[in-house]
Homo-oligomer: A and B are copies of this chain.
Amino acid sequence: MDRSARSNLPHRRGARGLNRDLVVDAALRSIDLHGTQGLSMRKLAQDLDVEAMSLYRYVTGREDILEAVVTRLLDGVTAALDDQLAQTWQGYLQTLAHTVRTLALEHPRTFPLVATRHPAAPWLRPPLRSLEVVEHFLTTLTGFGFTDDQVVGTYRSFSSFLLGHLLLEAAVRGAETSPAEEPLDEGDAQIGNRDAEVDLPPDSEVLRLRTKLSEDRGEEEFEVSLETLLDRIELQVSQ
Within 8 A of B (CB), among A37-91: none
Q: How large is the interface on A (under 10, 10 to 19, 20 to 34, 35 or more residues)?
A: 35 or more
A151-178 vs B, Cβ < 8 Å mask (1 yes, 0 no): 1100111011111110110011011001
Q: Answer yes or no: A186 CB below 8 A from chain B CBs.
A: no
Are A152 and B225 in touch, CB under 8 angstroms?
no
Q: Answer yes or no: A202 CB below 8 A from chain B CBs.
A: no
Q: A120-B198, A200-B131 are in contact. Are A209 and B163 (CB under 8 A)?
A: no
Are A205 and B116 in touch, CB under 8 angstroms?
no
Chain B: which residue is nearest A141 at the CB level? B205
Q: Answer yes or no: A10 CB below 8 A from chain B CBs.
A: no
Q: A116-B116, A138-B206, A205-B135 are in contact. Are A194 and B121 (CB under 8 A)?
A: yes
Q: A156-B221, A212-B149 are in contact. Are A122 and B194 (CB under 8 A)?
A: yes
Residues of B within 8 A of A232 (CB): 228
Are A198 and B168 in touch, CB under 8 angstroms?
no
A134-158 vs B, Cβ < 8 Å mask (1 yes, 0 no): 1100110010000011011001110
A32 vs B148: C-alpha distance when bound (angstroms): 36
Residue A221 contacts which of B160, B172, B179 (CB distance < 8 angstroms)?
B160
Are A116 and B206 in touch, CB under 8 angstroms?
no
Q: Can you list 13 A-B pairs, Cβ within 8 angstroms, ordered by A? A: A118-B174, A118-B175, A118-B178, A120-B197, A121-B197, A121-B198, A121-B214, A123-B209, A134-B206, A138-B206, A148-B212, A151-B209, A157-B221
